[in-house]
């Protein structure tokens, strides 16, 4: 079961995640945890029937590293 907001593992955290890299990371995360997903737009994904806004930017407390966050809408 997914939380209201969660960070998606993103390996290349020194570079800003492009839309393509973001979608790849979310796909890998969902497939690895057995979740079904559909991308609605570049900034929105539906995972197991719930819609999440996709945030790409600095991860709090990460000393300037970038991350990908999904937040329930």
42 contacts 67 by C-beta, under 8 angstroms: no
Q: What is the pLDDT of residues 2-21, one digit of tens each?
A: 679 999 988 888 899 999 99
Supply 41's token pair: 């737009």
Quick one: which of 49, 24, 29 has its CA closest to 38? 49
Quick one: which of 44, 33, 43 has its CA closest to 2? 33
What pLDDT was estimated at residue 8?
93
What pLDDT was estimated at residue 61?
73
- Of the two residues 59 and 27, the one the predictor is more confident about is 27
- The answer, yes or no, to whether residue 1 has pLDDT greater than 60, is no
- Would you give the end-to-end CA distance of the chain in angstroms? 16
Look-up of token digits 């999904």: 70
DSSP 9: P
Q: What is the pLDDT of residues 46-71, one digit of tens each?
A: 999 999 999 999 877 767 789 999 99
């Amino acid at each position: 079961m997914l939380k209201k907001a969660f960070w998606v593992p993103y390996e290349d955290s020194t570079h800003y995640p492009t839309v393509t890299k973001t979608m790849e990371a979310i796909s890998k995360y969902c497939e690895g945890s057995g979740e079904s997903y559909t991308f609605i737009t570049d900034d929105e994904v539906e995972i197991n029937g719930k819609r999440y806004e996709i945030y790409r930017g600095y991860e709090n407390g990460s000393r300037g590293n970038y991350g990908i966050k999904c937040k329930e809408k």
